[in-house]
Each structure stands twice: as C-alpha cells, then as structure tokens.
Amino acid sequence: MNPPFPFDPKTDFAIERFIDAPTRLVWEALTKPEHLAAWYMPRAWGRVSHAELDLRPGGIIRIDIAVGDGPDSPNLGCVLEVVPLQRLVWTSMLFPGYRPAVFDDIPITAIMQMASDGSGTRYVFTALHRNETDFQTNRESGFYQGTEIAIDQFVAHVIAMK
C-alpha cells in the first residue's frame, strides 16, 4: 500500500498490521462508534467515554477519553476523506465543518488505510505531524506507545467480531 502523501520519518510514523479478518469487518470496527469505544483507548490507561463519527468530508470525529477515574477529555476532529473499505483520513487541526481548531494538544492528521491481503486485511495507521518538534513531543508523551497498544486492541477486537 503506497501512501497518498509524502511520508517523512522525521515527522511521521506508521504502524502496520495484518488482520486475519475480511476488510468489511476492519472497516466496521474502524468506523462504528460502538466499536471505537471498545479499542481506541489503551485499557490499562483509561476508557472511551463517548465516540461519535460522521463519515463524510467535514464530518465530526469525536472520541472523548477518561484516564483512570479522571474527568472526560474531549478529542474532537474533522473527517477529511472517506473511501469505504480503503481509507479514512481525519485531523485534529480542524473541528467539524472545516472550522479552525483551538486546543492545547499536539495536532495530527491520521490516515487509516486497508487492503485485502489473501483471506485477511493489511492495515496501516499513519500519524502526520506539523514538524519534528511535535513529532518528538508526541513520541516522548507516550502517544506512539499508546497508539501501538490501541492498534493491538483494534486487531483483537476485529478478530473477535468474526
């Protein structure tokens, strides 16, 4: 799977997995709020308290999380591209309706790609950052590690859906 963008290892990271399940199940687990709540947040770190996704360019992606017994932390972004069963792209740089975002976190653009691979699915998650400083800050914060855990949970969730 070639990315539809220039990948720069100084500012971007990608995590690839083979999922022993059909692409339609991978897409469902990725795009249905009830499934997002099951895998998005590393369980040892917290939970998803609310998930919402409007699958159209300009639509909302909202995945609120709670760490431990702490308060809900809203995570709001804008869907940029939807190619059913192939690619979902969203960014935290914009709020729904392409409205400029204001927040205290490191912004990313997330690209989730999938393709049939034999009886399963090849899945690639890519996070694009504005610059090397944002990328390094996110790596040091545990974002990369948490994303790996969440993707492993995602794979297990998809397999459990079979």
Q: Which of 2-16, 50-64, 100-114 has the largest mean confidence?
A: 50-64
At 90 the three-state DSSP class reads strand
Cα 115–chain centre separation: 16
Looking at residue 128, what is its pLDDT?
A: 96
Looking at residue 145, what is its pLDDT?
A: 94
| Residue 130 reports pLDDT greater than 70 | yes
Looking at residue 103, what is its pLDDT?
A: 77
Kindly report the average pLDDT of the chain as a whole number: 94
Looking at residue 6, what is its pLDDT?
A: 85
Average pLDDT value for residue range 61-70: 91
Amino acid at 81: E
Domain spans in the chain, listed from the N-terminal domain onward:
13-161
Beta-strand relationship, 72-73 and 94-95: unpaired
Average pLDDT value for residue range 125-134: 96
- Phi-psi bin for 102: left (phi > 0), alpha (psi -120 to 50), beta? beta
Looking at residue 3, what is its pLDDT?
A: 65
**Which residues partner with 109 through β-bridges?**
91, 128
> How does DSSP classify residue 46?
E
Looking at residue 146, what is its pLDDT?
A: 95
| Residue 150 reports pLDDT greater than 90 | yes
Q: Classify domain 13-161 at the CATH topology level.
A: Alpha-D-Glucose-1,6-Bisphosphate; Chain A, domain 4 (3.30.530)
Global confidence as pTM: 0.94
State the DSSP H helix or E strand holding residue 152, giving kind and residue range, or none if neither: helix 143-161
Burial class (CB in 10 A: 0-12, 13-18, 19+), 68: exposed
* Residue 131: φ, ψ to 5°: -160, 175
Distance between CA atoms of residues 5 and 19, nearest Å: 23
